Homo-oligomer: A and B are copies of this chain.
Amino acid sequence: MSASNKIKVGIVGGTGYTGVELLRMLTLHPHAEVVMATSRKDAGTRLDAMFQSLRGRCDLVFSDTATADLTQCDVVFFATPHGVAMADAPKLLAKGVKVIDLAADFRYRDVAQFEKTYKMTHSCPELIAQSAYGLVELNRDAIKKANLIGNPGCYPTTMQIGFMPLLKAGIVDAAHLIADCKTGISGGGKKEELGFLYCEASDNVEAYGVSGHRHHGETVARLQEFTSEKVGLLFTPHLTPMIRGMFSSLYARLTKPTTNDELQALFEAAYHGEQFIDVMPFGSYPETRSTRGSNMLRLALHRPQDGDMVLVLVAQDNVMKGAAGAAVQCMNVMFGFDEAAGLSTLPLSP
């Protein structure tokens, strides 16, 4: 712990959207201080020259990823592409630095599945066993004890939070789950790609990745832990014209007679006391904008035409609860801070 009585935080890859979001939150954190942000391409550049929003609030200069001494940090966030964290994690962990990877390197327990999905060899598979999956509400105890976190993907968070109570209760057909998900454009990251241009992405809705989005395998593997039945998931991601926001419409067929009250009670019990999960009244309509800029995930249950299907509507801010917010929440749990430290800002409305 630093002289200032705050833990020292490093951010690798601070030039993307999750990087600047970590900075936005950590600047307000009572127990943590960002002391270093690194970049391969932008070393020497002030962070506020890249992000005008940081002017007056951040004096950091990007360090060179290759030479920066991250071992002086208490914890390092990797807001990088897949494959970066696993290269650096072993030596950081060996020096007692905790590591939180916002990419996929430590999301999978099954190395082979990771390697197949991301088409790269895992350089430190031995660390996977000691890593924890960073979805606090579903894995708090493991996170408390872990020094290495694989932060969940944005889509998987909504699908796990939404399907878990149903699967654990054993009341739905686990083999035929459907997740029709809609993301804001920031979900794709700060990439100069054609499809993310304003003139291509605005005033448009389209599906993508139906044949094999990388979050499919991550989600199925995690959902499988909630049930002994074989999980089958049809996952359709869509791009929608929002900066931030993710809305998942989850469909499951009930296999046992269940009343709406029982369904509602199931979810309220599952997330009782969770300050970042808002189980709304049965039949409500969560709105992505009501989560904008906050770490809150909202969900509501529906029973269309009083039939045998249950519909779970889930809304979150993909950059916050879907990425950087969840990572800070993990940090808080790992260090024994108030779980909401640095995460207290309310959603921006309108």
Chain A residues with a Cβ under 8 A of chain B: 17, 20-21, 23-24, 27-28, 51-57, 176, 178, 180, 182, 184-186, 190-194, 196-208, 210-212, 216, 232, 234-236, 238, 240-245, 247, 249, 251, 253, 275, 278, 280, 283, 285-294, 296, 298, 302, 304-305, 307, 309, 311, 313, 315, 319, 344-350
Q: How many copies does the complex hold?
A: 4
Query: Is A238 touching B243 in the complex (CB atoms < 8 A)?
Result: no
Give the docked Cα–Cα distance between A197 and B188 (Å).
11
Q: Which residue of B lies closest to A191 (CB)?
A: B197
Query: Is B345 touching A345 in the complex (CB atoms < 8 A)?
Result: yes
Query: Is B56 touching A275 in the complex (CB atoms < 8 A)?
Result: yes
B57, B204, B283, B285: which contacts A288 (Cβ < 8 A)? B204
Q: Could you show 25 A-B contacts with beta carbons less than 8 Å apart?
A: A20-B349, A27-B346, A52-B286, A53-B289, A53-B292, A55-B290, A56-B275, A178-B309, A184-B203, A190-B194, A190-B199, A192-B194, A197-B197, A197-B198, A198-B198, A198-B243, A202-B241, A205-B288, A206-B289, A234-B251, A234-B305, A238-B249, A244-B350, A292-B348, A293-B293
Shortest 5 CB-CB contacts between residues of A and residues of B: A52-B290, A53-B347, A53-B349, A204-B289, A199-B350
Query: Is B202 touching A202 in the complex (CB atoms < 8 A)?
Result: yes
Which residues of the partner chain B approach A290 to less than 8 Å between Cβ atoms? 51-53, 55
Which residues of the partner chain B approach A190 to less than 8 Å between Cβ atoms? 194, 197, 199, 350
Query: Is A315 touching B28 in the complex (CB atoms < 8 A)?
Result: no
Query: Is B204 touching A242 in the complex (CB atoms < 8 A)?
Result: yes
With A309-B176, A346-B54 known as contacts, the answer to whether A207 contacts B298 (CB < 8 A) is: no
Which residues of the partner chain B approach A305 to less than 8 Å between Cβ atoms? 212, 216, 232, 234
Which residues of the partner chain B approach A236 to less than 8 Å between Cβ atoms? 180, 249, 304, 311
Which residues of the partner chain B approach A242 to less than 8 Å between Cβ atoms? 203-205, 241
Considering residues A54, A235, A249, A319, which has the most beta carbons from chain B within 10 angstroms of its beta carbon? A249
